[in-house]
Chain A
Amino acid sequence: MLRSRSLLNLRRAARVTMLSAVAVSAAACGPIVFEDSTALPVEGTPPPPPEPEPEPEPPKRVEVREDKIVINEKIQFEFNKARILPESDSLLAEIAKVIKENPQIKKIRIEGHASSEGNDDYNLKLSQKRAEAVRKWLIERGGIPAEMLEAKGYGETRPIASNDTEEGREKNRRVEFTILEQEVTRKKVEIDPKTGEEKVVEEEKATAKAD
């Protein structure tokens, strides 16, 4: 009897001990809540400022386009006369420079045009004189061979804008440069199928004439 009681007590004690151990163990396995008191620092690198857009090139005053030498500025003449104003000297110098830089150009016609204001004959003569004044300037001051240049006045016969407005008439008063003859090079090329490089197999030079 006594023995069985002792055994029972031992079992109870063991059970209590184990329950306590489980309780302690459960508490030890509970979550741990924590927060860092100092923030993790991150330093970033801002992107470099964008490169400034390159300044657009100012439009060229003088350009060679197919059979024309286009001037994006007007040659200024004294009112009702064929005398070129000094402010146009730099423009004419640039025209001479462009002609020299393009040795393929062989012959140019300087064309004078007028608005419909005034007498037709007078306008025709004035535009002729103005074209000749430009030719003279290019030969004497620009160093262009005389045989390269011819001058022709068209008066009011070839308007490019309406003569009903001052703006249109101003556009019609102009000097144009038409390339009458220029040397062109025709090239026949073959593409190497292996390298993809172009190879000139035939080259022919010819003179193109405007109508």
Chain B
Amino acid sequence: MHAFPMPLRTPTLAALCLAGCTFIARGPDQYRDDTRALLETKTGSIQACYDEALKQDPNLSGTVTVHFKVEKKTGIIRDVEVDPDRSTAPSSLANCVAKAIDGLQLTPEDQRDGVATFTWKFSPKSG
């Protein structure tokens, strides 16, 4: 018994594999650094989230930790979830952060999904 149907001969398998793996293959450190750089493009929006929250509480500080997936082959950030156990900021701020990064796209796309955890630390400007 063959592991693959008869039509899938060796040249076909090789072609499929190549087709499936033509994207960049980052190592974990590179994947993290590139994703961080992508997230930093949204610092302005996230700062706006924070400034809005500061209107309610001028002394507000804290952290927001989110988990998300960087989808392979598209690079799109999906399934953004706030980790309530590791977040100390109010949920309104955390949800605003999650919304700000949802849908960002990492380029070039990676051949593998990235399962990421990032934390933002919020503190009011001193002085």
Contact = CB atoms under 8 A, between A and B. Distances in A.
Interface string A3-45: 0000000000011011101100100111111111001111111
Nearest to A34: B32
Interface residues of B, number: 49
Contacts of A36: 32, 36, 116-119
A31 B13 contact: no
A30 B112 contact: yes
Interface string B112-127: 1111111111111100
B63 interface: yes
Interface in A179-196: none
Contact of B21 (A29, A34, A47): A29
Interface string B96-118: 00000000000000111111111
Contacts of A52: none
A41 to B, nearest CB: 5
A42 B31 contact: no
Interface of B: 2-3, 10, 13-14, 17, 20-21, 25-29, 31-32, 35-36, 39-40, 43, 46-47, 50-51, 53-55, 58-60, 63, 69, 72, 110-125
B33 to A, nearest CB: 9
A34 B72 contact: no
B55 A47 contact: yes
B106 to A, nearest CB: 12
A44 B47 contact: yes
A162 to B, nearest CB: 52
Interface of A: 14-15, 17-19, 21-22, 25, 28-36, 39-47
A39 B112 contact: no
11 contacts: A18-B13, A28-B111, A33-B28, A35-B117, A36-B32, A39-B118, A40-B121, A41-B123, A42-B47, A44-B124, A45-B124
A45 B32 contact: no
Contacts of A40: 36, 39-40, 43, 46, 118-121
A74 to B, nearest CB: 48
B117 A45 contact: no
Contact of A47 (B58, B72, B112, B123): B58
Contacts of A31: 69, 72, 112-115
B54 A44 contact: yes
Given A39-B120, A44-B51, 20 more contacts: A15-B2, A15-B10, A22-B13, A25-B20, A28-B111, A29-B72, A29-B111, A31-B114, A32-B31, A34-B32, A34-B117, A36-B32, A36-B36, A36-B117, A43-B123, A44-B125, A46-B58, A46-B59, A46-B124, A47-B58
